Chains A and B, each alone.
Chain A
Amino acid sequence: MLATLAQAVINGLLIGGIYALVSIGVTLIFGVVKIVNFAQGEFVMIGMYISFFLASSFGVDPLLSLLISMPTLFAIGVLVQHFLIRRVLGLGDMPQIFLTFALSLLLMNVALLLFTANYRTVQTAYSESSFHIGPLYFAVAKLIAFVIAMLLSAVLYLFLHGTDLGKAMRAAAQNREVAMLMGINPDRVFCVAVGVALALAGAAGSLLMPFYPAYPLVGQVFVLMAFVAVVLGTLGNITGALIASLMMGVAESLGVQFVGADSGLIVVFVLLLLTLALRPNGLFGGWAR
Chain B
Amino acid sequence: MKKSNSKLGATRLGRRDFLVKSSGALAAGAVGAFNIRTAAAADTVNIGGLYPVTGNFAQIGQGCVNAAKLAVQMVNDAGGIKSLGGAKLNLIVSDVQSDPTVTRTETDRLISSYRPAAIHGAFASALTLIASEVAERAKVPLLTGSSSDQLNKDRHFTFTPFSRASQFALAQLQMSKLVSDQPKVAVIFENTAFGTSTSNGLREQAPAQGVEIVMFEPYSAGLSDASPLINKVKASGANMLFPVSYLNDLILIIRAIKQVDLKIAINGGSGGFVIPDFYRNVGNAAEGLLGVAHWNHDISDNAQKVNAAYQKQFGEFLFEYAGGLVAQTFMIADALERAASTDPQKVRDALAALDVSEGYAAMCPGGKVKFGPDGKNIYAHPVGVQWQHGDLATVFPKEEARAQLIKA
Which A residues are within 8 Å of any B CB, using their own CB? 4, 7-8, 11-12, 14-15, 18, 116-121, 123, 127-130, 132, 137, 139, 142, 211-213, 215, 220-222, 225, 252-253, 256-257, 260-262, 264-265
Name the interface residues of B24-77: CB closer than 8 Å to any CB of A: 55-56, 58-59
Contacts of B217 in A (CB 8 A): 260-262
Chain B residue numbers with a CB within 8 Å of A14 are 225, 227
Chain B residues whose C-beta falls within 8 Å of the C-beta of A257 in the assembled complex? 228, 231-232
Contact B251 A222 (CB under 8 A): no
Given contacts A4-B231, A11-B231, A139-B256, 14 further A-B contacts (CB under 8 A): A8-B228, A11-B227, A116-B58, A121-B251, A127-B255, A129-B258, A130-B259, A137-B260, A142-B259, A211-B252, A222-B224, A261-B229, A262-B219, A265-B220
Interface pair A262/B235, CB less than 8 Å apart: no
B229 adjacent to A119 (CB under 8 Å): no
| In-complex Cβ contact of B225 among A15, A116, A128, A215 (8 A) | A15
Do the beta carbons of B228 and A11 come within 8 Å of each other?
yes
Q: Min CB distance, B99 to chain A, in Å?
A: 13
- The 8 A-B pairs of least Cβ separation, nearest first, read A261-B219, A128-B258, A256-B228, A11-B227, A139-B259, A15-B225, A253-B228, A130-B259
A15 and B224 contact, CB distance less than 8 A: yes
User: Across the interface, do B251 and A117 meet the contact criterion of CB distance under 8 Å?
Assistant: no
Q: How far is the CA of A135 from the CA of B277 in the complex (A)?
A: 35
Q: Is B179's CB within 8 Å of the partner chain A?
A: no
Q: How close is B340's CB to chain A, nearest CB, in angstroms?
A: 44
28 pairs, CB–CB < 8 Å, chain A vs chain B: A4-B231, A8-B228, A11-B228, A12-B228, A14-B227, A15-B225, A15-B227, A117-B55, A118-B59, A123-B284, A128-B258, A128-B285, A130-B258, A137-B260, A139-B260, A212-B252, A213-B251, A215-B248, A220-B222, A225-B224, A252-B225, A252-B228, A253-B228, A257-B228, A260-B218, A261-B220, A262-B220, A264-B220
Residues of chain B within 8 A (CB-CB) of A118 are: 59, 277
Looking at the assembled complex, report how far the CB atom of B353 sits from the nearest CB atom of chain A, in whole angstroms: 42
- Which A-chain residue is minimally distant from B223 (CB atoms)? A221
Find chain B residues with CB under 8 A from A215 CB. Answer: 248
B266 to chain A, nearest CB (A): 14
Contact A117 B58 (CB under 8 A): yes
Contact A129 B259 (CB under 8 A): yes
Interface string of B271-308 (1 = CB under 8 A from A): 00000010001111100000000000000000000000
Q: Which residue on B lies nearest to A252, using beta carbons? A: B228
Shortest CB distance A106–B (Å): 19
**Docked-complex contact B261 and A137, CB < 8 angstroms:** yes
Q: Are A256 and B247 in contact (CB under 8 A)?
A: no
Annotate B206-232 by CB proximity to A: 1 below 8 A, 0 otherwise.
000000000001111011110111011
Q: Is there an interface contact between A213 and B248, defined as CB atoms closer than 8 Å?
A: yes
Name A126's closest neighbour in chain B (CB-CB): B259
CB distance from B264 to the nearest CB of A (A): 14
- Smallest beta-carbon distance B190→chain A, Å: 9
Residue of A nearest to B57 (CB): A117
Smallest CB gap from A221: residue in B = B224
Residue contact A137 to B259, C-beta cutoff 8 Å:
yes
Chain B residues closer than 8 Å to A142, beta-carbon distance = 227, 259
Chain A residues near B227 (CB-CB < 8 A):
11, 14-15, 139, 142, 253
Assess whether A262 is in contact with B191, with CB atoms less than 8 Å apart.
yes
B182 to chain A, nearest CB (A): 24
> Are B247 and A119 in contact (CB-based, < 8 A)?
yes
B122 CB–A CB distance under 8 Å: no
Within 8 Å of chain A (Cβ to Cβ): is B188?
A: yes
**B188 contacts which chain A residues (CB < 8 A)?**
261
What is the bound-complex CA distance between A213 and B285, given in angstroms?
14
Using CB atoms, name the residue of chain A closest to B256: A139
In whole angstroms, how far apart are the Cα atoms of A14 and B225 in the complex? Answer: 10
Query: Which of A123, A129, A130, A253 is close to B283, meaning CB atoms less than 8 Å apart?
Result: A123
Most chain A CB within a 10 A radius of its CB, from B228, B232, B251: B228
User: Would A121 and B282 count as touching, CB distance under 8 A?
Assistant: yes
Q: A127-B255, A213-B248 are in contact. Are A8 and B231 (CB under 8 A)?
A: yes
Which B residues are in CB contact (< 8 Å) with A129? 258-259
Q: How far is the CA of A77 from the CA of B108 in the complex (A)?
A: 48
Contacts of B255 on A, CB cut-off 8 Å? 127-128, 211
Given contact pairs A137-B260, A262-B219, A121 touches B232 in the complex (Cβ within 8 A): no
Q: Among B232, B256, B259, B283, which residue has the most Cβ atoms of chain A within 10 A?
A: B259
Contacts of A7 in B (CB 8 A): 231
B56 touching A117, Cβ below 8 Å: yes
